[in-house]
Structures are given as C-alpha cells and as structure tokens.
Amino acid sequence: IYGYLKCGTFVKVGPQRYVLPAKFRRCAEYIYNMQVRPDDTWVITFPRSGTTWTQEMVWLLQNDLDFKTAKEVPLYERFPQLIVTAQIPDLAHYLIRANFMNLANFQGLDAAIRQPSWESIDHAPSPRFIKTHLPLSLLPPNLLDVAKVVYVARDPRDVAVSYYYLQKHIGKGIVRASFMEFWEAFRKDLLPFTPVVAHANEAWQKRNHKNLHFIFYEDLKKDLSLEVRSMCKFLGREYSDLKLSLLVDHLAFDNLKKNKTVNNNLHNDQKAQFIRKGEIGGWVEHFDDKMVVQAQEYLRTRLAKVDVRYPTIP
C-alpha cells in the first residue's frame, strides 16, 4: 500500500495498481491470510458485471435448488460480500469531496448498509458462499487450490454505465455527477476496484485452472440455460432437465427483478435496485461521439497489455 487519496487506498501488486475502498487498509492483511476452506464457493467480479445474477445461480446449484430458502433469506446474508461496508460510503465520500454529491443527503448511508464484517465471514460456518470485488491478487494465494471460484466479466462500457446508475440512485439520487464526469473518473481508473480490465485479466490468466470458472455476462444473456448447465458441471452437481429449467426461469431478468431477496437489497429506495436494465450494449445511449472515441482508446490501450478478450469487443 503506497498511497491514500480521497475515497480510496491505492494498492500496488507487482506492476498493477488498484483503487480500493479506504477500509481495505485495515483488512488487507487479514483477508490475504484468511483460511480458505474446500467447501467454500467464491464469486469474484468487478462491480456491476453480473455478480448478483451469478450468486443466485451458484447458491441454488450448491443448495439442492432450495427455492424456498432463497425466497426467504436475502442474498446478502446467504452470500455475503467481503468488505462491502466500505465500498459505497467511500465512493460517496469521494464524490462529496469532488463536489459531485450533496453532503446532507449522505447522512444515514452508512447505516443503510448492513453487511457482515470480514471477520464474521472468516468465522462463518461451512459451507461458505463469499462474494468479493477484490482482484485475485489481493485474496488468499491458495484460494484456487482449495475452493471453487467463479469469475464474471462484462464489457467495461456497460459496466461503467451500470456503476454510474447504482451510485446515482443510492440514497435517493445524491450523486450529482453527470455520466460524463463519472466516465472521466472511470476511464482514468480513479473509482473503487479499477482498473477493470486488469481485474478481469487476472482471472482470465487462470481460466484453465480446474477450480476457476470464468464467464462473461454477455454469455449469460446469450444462453442462460447453457451457462447454468456448464456451471452445474463445474460445481459437480447433477439435476434433472426439469429442475434446471425451473432454475433458468427463476434467474430470468423479469423474475429476478421482482425477487425481493435478490434485488433491491441495499436499502428501500426503489431506484437503487441492483437489477436495473440487464442489457448488452446499452452504453451506446450514454456515450457521445467524443466519449465513444475515448472508450475506443481506453480499451485499445488497456487490452494491448493483457490477454483477456471480451465477446463484444472486436
């Protein structure tokens, strides 16, 4: 850890720099040394890449398609997140300081986010289901050798738009930044968990590891049934076609959006829903000509340094 600016802690791993929630300074070592268990299942993503969707799929496949419990217990309790407590308030602090957000509306935001601490996740009974936005290099080094890990990636342009809307609507529209301003911060890798391409590339490099299942949001959209089957195989589970079709139906966008234990789990603001539009390529409506060129340049320079290839980026 070599610096600290506004909302984030800059962490340098080898040549790579990440922006992390400021609280990460307090738990970095703890998390790195956390005991991984063979019956753990982890879902790792850059925010807004299809995490929630994948978590619900993975939890149900690992729990005998127990739809009853899934409908009763919020996803954030069944499948808690490592260090979420920091993510939203820290970004809010950043936006306040950058004068993108109104301080008055920030009150109470912290209290609205009730997630378990890293210590309680560490001590939770098995089997554990753990969601995190931390890149692989900041997680326990033996993670893949011990536990099953799913990584989900998505076109960074759609991620940027989705990230913006989530922040904008948290706490009743307190973020004043326009998308253009938010995009500036995104493409300059100033937002928590950026840079997004390097984040995905870490997992991409390990995609042939037997305990890592690397998927794209766009493939989930293209053929959910196929992806459910391939996830089932990865997790070593077997279900009848009929049961799997019930799962595919449960995971369909309209059904998941209506599902109170999965969607809208941050607080009661209707607009601050985790499940928003669920589209591929919706970014085009938010980028003007200048931003399109910036995005091309951003992707060209980032992708030149890494191996990961996105299905929507030629």
Q: What is the dihedral of CA 301, 305, 311, 314, to 10 degrees?
A: 50
User: Exposed, middle or buried: residue 314 (CB in 10 Å: 0-12, 13-18, 19+)?
Assistant: exposed
Mask for 233-252, x = binds ligand A3P (CB under 6 A):
------------------x-
**Is 91 near ligand A3P (CB under 6 A)?**
no
- With a CB cutoff of 8 Å and minimum separation 6, the contacts of 112 are 171, 266, 267
**Is 162 near ligand A3P (CB under 6 A)?**
yes
Residue nearest to ligand A3P (CB): 278
Piece in contact with ligand A3P (CB under 6 A), picked from 43-51, 76-84, 121-129, 305-313: 43-51
Q: 213 near 54, Cβ under 8 Å?
A: no
- Considering only 7, 18, 36, 52, the residue that binds ligand A3P (CB under 6 A) is 52
Mask for 191-230, x = binds ligand A3P (CB under 6 A):
----------------------------------------
User: Exposed, middle or buried: residue 159 (CB in 10 Å: 0-12, 13-18, 19+)?
Assistant: buried
- Considering only 11, 42, 44, 48, the residue that binds ligand A3P (CB under 6 A) is 48
Q: What type of residue sits at position 169?
A: H
- Considering only 148, 168, 199, 276, the residue that binds ligand A3P (CB under 6 A) is 276
Tokens found for residue 101: 């957000």
- Considering only 84, 256, 295, 308, the residue that binds ligand A3P (CB under 6 A) is 256
- Considering only 71, 271, 277, 300, the residue that binds ligand A3P (CB under 6 A) is 277
Measured from the CB of residue 42, what is the shortest distance to ligand A3P in angstroms? 14
Q: Which of 148, 265, 138, 164 is nearest to 209 (CA)?
A: 148
Piece in contact with ligand A3P (CB under 6 A), picked from 28-36, 46-54, 117-125, 298-306: 46-54
Return the residue matching tokens 């299809």: 50
Q: Return the beta strands (E) in the chain as ranges.
A: 3-5, 8-13, 16-21, 41-45, 129-132, 148-153, 212-216
Measured from the CB of residue 285, what is the shortest distance to ligand A3P in angstroms? 11
Q: 118 near 132, Cβ under 8 Å?
A: no
Point out which residues bind ligand A3P (CB under 6 A): 45, 47-53, 158, 162, 165, 251, 253, 256, 274-278, 282
